[in-house]
Structure 1
Amino acid sequence: MNQKEIYKNDLLVLPKWESYLLQSSGLPGPRANLTLLYVAAELGNEEIFRSFLDFQVEDDHHGDSPDEFIVMCGVVGLGKLLAQGKEEYWVQLKRYASDSRWRIRESVAMALQIYGEYNMERLLSEMAIWSVERLLEQRAAVAAICEPKLLKDARYGEKLFIILNQTTSSLLIEDNRKEDGFLVLKKALAYCWSVAIAAYPDQGKNAFQPWLNYENKDIRWVLKENLTKNRLQKMDSIWVERCKDKIGVK
């Protein structure tokens, strides 16, 4: 019996999950227990998720409180509810995308990916809307869709790169480059492009290459970070080196 099965068996016999989740959350610590989080999302229902979202969390600016894990489980559970046709939860999930707590924002991307496995076309359509809104919502959009397991169908490439181009353009127009939303969007774009290009090489190269002509330092940083990713080296090392030469990166 693997750890996932152990968690399932434990939760299924418990009338209330909160104490178990708190004890096994992995927090405080560098990594929350994502295996348990996904099990809770798989087994939970609307009533459980709503109670998790209302769970009282003690103030913790570092995101290390075990209490926060309960809310994470509730947020990820929203992805399951969306997949069940409960459309009203798009609004709530979008609100969590701009939450001040970074672990909650990560949970939004996880929730969206759960939905994406159910309906990727609809996810891309929704993320196209998010991609022109607030920076943290843009970050959630690209983090959600740039996931290898979701990028198996060639039909998704065009919409994917429209969203990546749109969110990358935001780096050019934002005045406050020290604002949290700007920084986390930039960090997401620093790997998301490479994931998307590796999934759809021809479309990806065509979308990426025009950005090589921009002198903007934030754009250049995003390009450089993506070009250092092993997934692109494995895909086409010659193309990668040409791109590096174009922007003066060794």
Structure 2
Amino acid sequence: MNEIESYEKSLINMSPKIWATFLMDNAFVSGNKINVELAETFSRVGTLMDFKHFVCIDHVEAPEGSADAFLTYCGVLGYGVYLSKYYDQGLLEQLRIKANDPRLTVRQAVIKALQYIGRKNFRRLFKYMDEWKNGTPLEQRACLAAVCSSGIMKDQEAMLEALELLEWVTATFIEDINWDQNYKLLQDEVARCWSVLVAENPTKGKQRMERWMKERHPLVSSIMKKVY
């Protein structure tokens, strides 16, 4: 029995009343490394009621690195599994709010949750991202990080959709923006995604990049220089 099977068996055989305690007791492995395997297992075993309860735990009550924050991580992944099967605007809005969470691990969980949706149905993910792409830098970063991944870009259609989204977000840097750390994170993600898409589709990717290089905008130029 591997680790994931062991976690699944343990969760199924114990009372749901002690799930939270079990999750917190096993939140980390190898010191401070978050227990992703346990979180992913719980996202398939837990109930929507549990996910909602855990997602509501904010960064004040559960700061980064705490066992309580791991519960939020698990809840966000649970939302991803649920939303990969069913539509729920309320859950999507909560997930979008968590994309702006001060905790890095929670923001990473949002990306994984979106990837769950995209692997199940990439069209559904792109439809959801129509709103996120106009959002905050961290919301834009989350949708780009989710979409521009190998598990989502399975065919030419998905890749072209990802490229359209990437160009949309790249245009953000042509506008007048109040620069802060979140825009720096977005800038780095845009550069990473351009690298991924150029590697996946050199012809289309380089063709689109050349158009952006002609903009001669300092921020866009900075992004393009990071691609190579």
TM-score bracket for this pair, using the shorter chain length: 0.7 to 0.9
Change beyond 3 A, Cα 1:104–1:174: farther
Q: How much does 1:185 deviate?
A: 0.8
Alignment correspondent of 1:242: none
Alignment correspondent of 2:2: 2
Alignment correspondent of 2:81: 80
| % identical equivalent positions | 28
| Structure 2: 5+ residue stretches without partners | none
Using the alignment, how far apart are the partners of 2:115 and 2:105 within structure 1? Answer: 15
1:14 aligns with 2:14: yes
Using the alignment, how far apart are the partners of 2:11 and 2:4 within structure 1? Answer: 11
CA contact (8 A) 1:168 1:189 kept: yes
Q: How much does 1:73 deviate?
A: 0.7
Change beyond 3 A, Cα 1:99–1:56: closer
Q: How much does 1:175 deviate?
A: 2.8
Using the alignment, how far apart are the partners of 1:158 and 1:3 within structure 2? Answer: 37
Alignment correspondent of 1:163: 165
After TM superposition, the score normalised by the length of structure 1 is: 0.81
Segment drifting more, 47-56 vs 113-122: 47-56
Using the alignment, how far apart are the partners of 2:126 and 2:84 within structure 1? Answer: 14
Alignment correspondent of 2:193: 192
**Map 1:29-44 → 2, pairs under 5 A:** 31-44=33-46
1:212 aligns with 2:213: yes
| Structure 1: 5+ residue stretches without partners | 228-250
Q: How much does 1:57 deviate?
A: 5.8
Alignment correspondent of 1:233: none
**Map 1:28-67 → 2, pairs under 5 A:** 31-55=33-57, 59=61, 63-67=64-68
Root mean square deviation, CA, Å: 2.3
Change beyond 3 A, Cα 1:57–1:21: farther
Alignment correspondent of 1:221: 222
CA contact (8 A) 1:80 1:115 kept: yes
Aligned pair count reads 225
Residues 227-248 of structure 1, C-alpha deviation per residue, up to 9 Å, x if partnerless?
2xxxxxxxxxxxxxxxxxxxxx
Amino acid aligned to 2:221: R
Alignment correspondent of 1:246: none
After TM superposition, the score normalised by the length of structure 2 is: 0.88
**Map 1:96-245 → 2, pairs under 5 A:** 96-177=98-179, 179-227=180-228
Using the alignment, how far apart are the partners of 1:28 and 1:5 within structure 2? Answer: 19
CA contact (8 A) 1:56 1:67 kept: no
